[in-house]
């Protein structure tokens, strides 16, 4: 497996890592098999999160069988305050059955307000600094769908890694990664397969891997078949041919009219709908086959697609000219009969 250094962490990580979100629908024996095959294929980086229900727990059980020493473990907290972050770190340690976590990240810092809360005196960042001093974690990172939040984080030189969506459609992050590279900050790529939207997954992963400024890709995988298919990219990496690039570009063009990049420019919605989140949970339902989890998330929203009054204020703000109202109607038609 090709390896790259994860910025200033110094960790030499496999080009293809493991994204832990979709295993929520797996049985433990399936996760055990996945982890066994990750080891065999040379994957040494696992990313999960407190928000992924039982993902940490099942990974911890699998590592008890196959060995913690084979992997660098990364997980995340959505919390912002000192006490809540500290509590999440301790829970993660227990669920993963480990004495230390290699990389602990803030999970999807959505807005500058969230970021400033994290970084305020006595905020979540201070908690991770204290955890690092205590040896509970080794490195500190941040993830976001907001370019602006991560750009600010890079300016302040507080984080050792950033995590951001990147694929042939969601390609806005390239300058961000170049900046991170110049500061020796590791770059973790989420959504390299656009939530499973691409027909040619191999081409999509190779397109991302061609960028020399990124460190590791973490496609979500919930089967041994996916592990074997995706790790082939890291075990025998070659750049795309012209024909392969044209095929992938055709795939991207087909998705481009209805694919939400989660940039957040459509906000704020007068009805309080978090529009990108509507499409994220729809994608988890349709493409990740996480029906129950996605439905529970949809129910938990203060406002959802069924609250859309078709005012259209969001659409002029979308830099990709997406038909947001029609897309929300599609989301509503999917979930509302199930409520």
**Residue 257 lies inside a defined structural domain of this protein:** no
Is 105 found in the same domain as 41? yes
pLDDT of residue 290: 84
**Residue 265 lies inside a defined structural domain of this protein:** no
Query: 100: which 2 tokens?
Result: 């230390």
**Residue 261 lies inside a defined structural domain of this protein:** no
Is 234 found in the same domain as 90? yes
**Residue 252 lies inside a defined structural domain of this protein:** no
Whether the per-residue pLDDT at 194 is higher than 80: the answer is yes
Is 318 found in the same domain as 206? no
Is 222 found in the same domain as 298? no
Is 63 found in the same domain as 194? yes
- For 102-151, how does the pLDDT look when each residue is reduced to its tens digit (9 = 90+)? 999 999 998 999 999 999 999 999 999 999 999 999 999 999 989 999 99
pLDDT of residue 286: 81
Percent of the chain whose pLDDT exceeds 90: 81
Confidence (pTM): 0.85
The confidence band for 304, taking pLDDT boundaries of 50, 70 and 90, is very high
**Terminal C-alpha separation, the chain:** 45
The confidence band for 197, taking pLDDT boundaries of 50, 70 and 90, is confident
- For 140-159, how does the pLDDT look when each residue is reduced to its tens digit (9 = 90+)? 999 998 999 999 999 999 99
Residue 10 belongs to domain with CATH number: 3.20.20.100
What average pLDDT score do residues 232-247 get?
96
DSSP assigned state of 15 = S
**Residue 258 lies inside a defined structural domain of this protein:** no
Domain region containing 322: 275-338
* Cβ atoms of 80 and 111 closer than 8 Å: no
> What is the rounded radius of gyration, in angstroms, for the C-alpha atoms of the chain?
19
**Residues paired with 13 in a beta bridge:** 4
Is 279 found in the same domain as 230? no
pLDDT, mean over the chain: 94
Whether the per-residue pLDDT at 163 is higher than 80: the answer is yes
* Residue from 26, 41, 30, 27 nearest 71 by CA: 41
The confidence band for 201, taking pLDDT boundaries of 50, 70 and 90, is very high
pLDDT of residue 257: 66
The confidence band for 25, taking pLDDT boundaries of 50, 70 and 90, is confident
| Residue 175: partners with Cβ closer than 8 Å, 6 or more residues away | none
What average pLDDT score do residues 300-329 get?
93
Q: Which of 209, 230, 247 is the last residue of a domain?
A: 247
Query: 90: which 2 tokens?
Result: 């301790």
CA–CA separation, 82 vs 79, rounded Å? 8
- For 248-289, how does the pLDDT look when each residue is reduced to its tens digit (9 = 90+)? 999 888 776 677 877 777 888 999 999 988 998 998 888 767
Ordered alpha helix ranges (H), 120-259: 124-133, 147-156, 174-182, 201-209, 224-235, 242-255
Is 281 found in the same domain as 184? no
Q: Which of 229, 247, 265 is the last residue of a domain?
A: 247
**Residues paired with 47 in a beta bridge:** 19, 74
Is 80 found in the same domain as 197? yes
Q: Which of 227, 247, 267 is the last residue of a domain?
A: 247
**Residue 266 lies inside a defined structural domain of this protein:** no
**Residue 107 lies inside a defined structural domain of this protein:** yes
Is 230 found in the same domain as 314? no
Query: 79: which 2 tokens?
Result: 């919390």
pLDDT of residue 226: 95
CA distances to 146, 176, 185, 213, 262 from 4, rounded to whole Å, are 25, 18, 12, 10, 27
* Cβ atoms of 195 and 287 closer than 8 Å: yes
- For 28-83, how does the pLDDT look when each residue is reduced to its tens digit (9 = 90+)? 999 999 999 999 999 999 999 999 989 999 999 999 999 999 999 999 999 999 99
Sole residue written with tokens 């006490």: 83
**Residue 317 lies inside a defined structural domain of this protein:** yes
User: What domain count does the chain have?
Assistant: 2
Whether the per-residue pLDDT at 167 is higher than 90: the answer is yes
- Provide the b/e sequence for 160-198 (b: ≥16 CB within 10 Å): bbbbbbbbbbbeebeebbebbbeeebbbbbbbbbbbbbb
Is 224 found in the same domain as 121? yes
């Amino acid at each position: 497996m090709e390896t790259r250094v994860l910025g200033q962490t110094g960790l030499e990580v496999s080009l293809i890592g493991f994204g832990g979100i979709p295993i929520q629908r797996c049985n433990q024996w399936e996760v055990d098999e996945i982890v066994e095959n990750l080891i065999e294929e040379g994957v040494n980086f696992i990313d999960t999160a407190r928000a992924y229900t039982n993902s940490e727990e099942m990974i911890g059980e699998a590592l008890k069988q196959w060995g913690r020493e084979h992997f660098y473990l990364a997980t995340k907290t959505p919390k912002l305050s000192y006490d809540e972050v500290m509590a999440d770190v301790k829970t993660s340690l227990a669920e993963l059955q480990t004495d230390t976590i290699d990389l602990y990240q803030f999970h999807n810092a959505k807005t500058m307000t969230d970021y400033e809360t994290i970084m305020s005196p006595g905020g979540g960042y201070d908690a991770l600094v204290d955890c690092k001093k205590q040896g509970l974690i080794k490195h500190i990172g941040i993830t976001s769908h907001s370019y602006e939040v991560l750009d600010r984080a890079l300016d302040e030189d507080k984080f050792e890694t950033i995590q951001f969506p990147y694929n042939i459609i969601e390609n806005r992050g390239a300058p961000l990664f170049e900046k991170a590279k110049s500061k020796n900050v590791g770059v973790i790529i989420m959504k390299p397969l656009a939530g499973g939207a691409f027909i040619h997954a191999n081409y999509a992963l190779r397109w991302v891997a061609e960028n020399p400024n990124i460190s590791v890709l973490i496609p979500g995988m919930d089967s041994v078949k996916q592990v074997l298919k995706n790790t082939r990219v890291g075990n025998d990496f070659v750049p795309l041919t012209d024909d392969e690039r044209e095929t992938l570009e055709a795939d991207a063009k087909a998705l481009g009219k209805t694919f939400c990049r989660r940039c957040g420019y459509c906000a704020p919605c007068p009805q309080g709908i978090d529009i990108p989140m509507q499409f994220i949970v729809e994608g988890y339902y349709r493409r990740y086959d996480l029906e129950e989890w996605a439905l529970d998330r949809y129910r938990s929203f203060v406002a959802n697609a069924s609250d859309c009054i078709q005012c259209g204020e969001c659409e002029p703000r979308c830099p990709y000219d997406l038909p947001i109202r029609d897309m929300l109607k599609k989301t509503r038609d999917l979930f509302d009969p199930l409520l």
